[in-house]
Structure 1
Amino acid sequence: MDAVPHVSFLTDYGLADGFVAACHGVLLRRGVRALDISHLIDPGDVRRGAAVLAQTVRYLPVPVHLAVVDPGVGTSRRGIVLVTPGGMLVGPDNGLLAPAAAVLGGVRAAVALVARPGVPATFHGRDVFAPAAAELATGTAPEALGARVDPAGLVQLPPVLARVRAAEDPAAELEAEVVLVDRFGNVQLAATGDLLADVGLVPGRRAEVQTSTAGAPLRMPVGVTFGSVGPGELVLYVDSAGMAAFAVRDGAAASRLGLAPGDVVTLRAS
Structure 2
Amino acid sequence: MRDVQSRDVTSFITLLTDYGLEDGFVAACHGVIAGIAPEARVIDVCHLVPPGDVRRGAAILSQTIPYLPAGVHIGAVDPGAGTSRRAVAVTAGARVFVGPDNGLLSWAVRAAGGAAAAYEIRDEAHFLRPVSPTFPGRDVFAPVAARLALGLDPAELGPQVPLDRLVTLPEPTSLMRDGAVEGEVVSVDRFGNTQLSIAVGDLRALGVRVGDNLGVWMGRRQLTLPYRETFAAVPPGELVAFADSAGLIAIGVNCGDAAQRLGLPPGAHVRVSPSR
TM-score, L = length of structure 1: 0.90
1:182 lines up with 2:182 in the alignment: no
1:253 corresponds in structure 2 to 258
1:26 is matched with 32
1:207 is the counterpart of 2:219: no
2: CA distance, partners of 1:243 / 1:216: 22
Q: 1:131 is aligned with what amino acid?
A: P
Could you tell me whether the CA contact under 8 Å between 2:241 and 2:250 is conserved in 1?
yes
Structure 2 counterpart of 1:191, one-letter code: I
Q: 1:198 aligns with which of 178, 197, 205?
A: 205
Q: Determine the C-alpha separation between the residues in 2 that align with 1:88 and 1:208.
A: 42
- Indicate conservation of the 8 Å contact 2:200/2:243, yes or no: yes
- Aligned-residue offset at 1:259: 2.2
- C-alpha displacement at 1:230, in angstroms? 3.1
Instruction: Name the CA distance, whole Å, in 2 between partners of 1:25 and 1:233.
Output: 45
Matching of residues 74-113 of structure 1 within 5 Å? 74-113=82-121
Which is further off, 137-146 or 195-204?
Answer: 195-204
Task: Tell me which of 141, 154, 160 is aligned to 2:153.
Answer: 141
- Partner secondary structure for residue 147 of structure 1: coil
Contact persistence 1:8–1:62 (CA under 8 A): no
Q: How many angstroms apart in 2 are the aligned matches of 1:150 and 1:202?
A: 44
Pair 1:125 & 2:132 matched = no
**Runs of at least 5 residues in structure 2 that lack an aligned partner in the other structure:** 1-6
Is 1:65 equivalent to 2:65 in the alignment? no
Deviates more, 1:20-29 or 1:251-260: 251-260
Do structure 1's residue 268 and structure 2's residue 273 form an aligned pair? yes
Taking a change above 3 Å as real, the CA distance of residues 257 and 145 of structure 1, as seen in their structure-2 partners, is: same
Contact 2:107 2:171 in 1 (8 A): no
Residue 8 in structure 1 maps to residue 20 in structure 2: no
The one-letter amino acid paired with 1:227 is A
Secondary structure at the counterpart of residue 31 of structure 2? helix
AA matched with 2:187: L
Q: Tell me how far apart the structure 2 counterparts of residues 119 and 252 of structure 1 sit (CA, whole Å).
A: 41
Deviations 1:34-63 (A, max 9, x none): 211111101111000000000111111241
1:50 equivalent in structure 2: 58
Alpha-carbon distance change, 104 to 86 in structure 1, aligned in 2, over 3 angstroms: farther
Question: Which residue is 1:244 aligned to?
Answer: 249
Distance 1:228 1:201 in 2: 17
> Residue in 2 aligned with 1:159?
171
Unpaired stretches in structure 1, ≥5 consecutive residues: 167-171
Structure 1 residue 20: Cα displacement: 1.2
In the other structure, the counterpart of 1:38 is 46
Say whether the 8 Å CA contact 2:17–2:48 is kept in structure 1.
Answer: yes
Mapped partners of 2:264, 2:252: distance in 1? 12
Q: SS at 2:265's partner residue? A: coil
Alignment match, 1:223:
228
**Deviation above 4 Å: which 4+ runs of structure 1?**
none
**Bigger mean CA deviation after superposition, 142-151 or 193-202:** 193-202
Check whether the contact 1:188–1:244 (CA below 8 A) recurs between aligned residues. Answer: yes
1:163 touches 1:174 (CA, 8 Å); kept in 2? yes
Structure 1 window deviating more from structure 2 (1-10 vs 30-39): it is 1-10
How far the C-alpha of 1:261 sits from its partner, in A, is 1.8
| Residues 188 and 259 in structure 2, CA contact (< 8 A), matched pair in contact too | yes
Partner of 1:169: none
Whether the aligned pair in 2 keeps the contact of 1:185 and 1:255 (CA below 8 Å) is yes
Q: How many residues align?
A: 263
Q: What is the alpha-carbon distance in structure 1 between the residues aligned to residue 176 and residue 66 of structure 2?
A: 28
- Give the secondary structure class of the aligned counterpart of 2:124: coil
Q: Is the 8 A contact 2:8 2:150 kept in 1?
A: no
